[in-house]
């Protein structure tokens, strides 16, 4: 199935990299997406200066609450990819809001300014600190059209949503650097700038993501009329990777509505400093 359930809760960087690799493959490989007309164009991928890959959960009744987690990675001057940096999202909104959404996002960072926004600031607001626009789609997207869009947006946004949301929200999305998660992975206090500028080599935990980023479709040397250009992208199924949360390890929650609602309840309890519900997110 081209869209499964991914964990929006802040997890270890090892889990985040596995999740990011699975999400990214579903946006760039027709075999794991909804077909060749629903993938990010190879030209956009080959020209990307960086990517942010995030899962966000949003729910509301009158107002909204949202939270999520993911990673940011940058392309270095030699064409290789930087070590990933952890990010989180959180916030609230107002307006006529009923329902829930679980959304996977891939943000293509088109220029150096967009990468700097992620690397030099503790938090950024998409659409505020940097311009953002819906990106072109389709394996054979018109090159001239894609180039013209790139000139007016520092970031292209792509998303896949599971759930139902009714109403209009006035909220923006703020992304915050997760320095604690970075410190645990790299065993040192490191900044997003150090990571995205290539001061630290990518660790083995980043391999599930790098295996996708180092595939031919990101290189620019591909024949867009041939399906063979995708055959070096790892195939990810819908089995959920183990996640780490609050020091415990176990299988991520399932894909049914009850589990989605429980995630909201758990976050709501956390936000209000109350006791957690007794049900566990994990298989003990």
Burial class (CB in 10 A: 0-12, 13-18, 19+), 188: exposed
83 in any annotated domain: yes
196 in any annotated domain: yes
CB 165 within 8 A of CB 99: yes
Domain containing 40 equals 13-271
157 in any annotated domain: yes
5 in any annotated domain: no
CA dist 213 and 157 (Å) reads: 17
Q: What is the chain's pLDDT, residue by residue, as a tens digit (284 residues)?
A: 344 568 777 778 999 999 999 999 999 998 888 777 889 999 899 999 999 999 988 877 767 778 889 999 999 999 999 999 999 987 777 666 667 788 889 999 999 988 988 887 666 766 666 678 888 888 766 544 444 454 557 889 898 887 655 554 434 667 889 999 999 999 999 999 999 999 999 999 999 999 999 999 998 776 656 677 788 898 876 544 443 333 334 443 333 444 555 555 555 555 444 334 433 333 32
282 in any annotated domain: no
8 in any annotated domain: no
28 in any annotated domain: yes
- Number of Cβ within 10 Å of residue 30's Cβ equals 16
User: What does pTM read for this prediction?
Assistant: 0.77
The DSSP element (H or E) to which 86 belongs, if any, is strand 85-93
3 in any annotated domain: no
Q: What local confidence, expressed as pLDDT, does residue 172 receive?
A: 61
Between strands 63-74 and 85-93, the pairing is: antiparallel
Q: What local confidence, expressed as pLDDT, does residue 224 receive?
A: 59
How many domains is the chain partitioned into structurally?
A: 1
């Amino acid at each position: 199935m081209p869209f499964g359930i991914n964990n929006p809760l802040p997890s270890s960087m090892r889990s985040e990299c596995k999740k990011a690799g699975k999400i990214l493959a579903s946006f760039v490989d027709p075999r794991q997406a909804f077909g060749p007309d629903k993938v990010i164009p190879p030209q956009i991928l080959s020209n990307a200066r960086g990517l942010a890959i995030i899962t966000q959960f949003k729910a509301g009744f009158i107002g909204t609450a949202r939270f999520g987690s993911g990673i940011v990675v940058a392309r270095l001057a030699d064409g290789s990819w930087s070590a990933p940096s952890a990010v989180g999202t959180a916030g609230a909104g107002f307006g006529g809001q009923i329902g829930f959404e679980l959304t996977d996002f891939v943000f293509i960072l088109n220029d150096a300014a967009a990468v700097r926004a992620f690397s030099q600031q503790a938090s950024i607001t998409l659409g505020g600190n940097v311009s953002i626009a819906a990106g072109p789609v389709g394996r054979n997207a018109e090159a001239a059209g894609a180039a013209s869009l790139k000139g007016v947006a520092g970031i292209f946004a792509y998303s896949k949503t599971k759930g139902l949301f009714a109403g209009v929200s006035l909220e923006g999305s703020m992304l915050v650097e997760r320095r604690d998660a970075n410190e645990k992975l790299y065993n040192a206090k490191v900044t997003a700038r150090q990571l995205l500028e290539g001061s630290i080599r990518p660790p083995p935990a980043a391999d599930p993501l790098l295996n996708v980023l180092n595939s031919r479709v990101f290189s620019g040397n591909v024949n867009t009329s041939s399906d063979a250009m995708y055959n070096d992208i790892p195939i990810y199924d819908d089995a959920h990777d183990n996640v780490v949360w609050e020091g415990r390890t176990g299988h991520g929650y399932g894909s049914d509505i009850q589990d989605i609602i429980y995630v909201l309840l758990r976050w709501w309890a956390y936000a209000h400093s109350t006791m957690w519900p007794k049900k566990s997110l994990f298989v003990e």
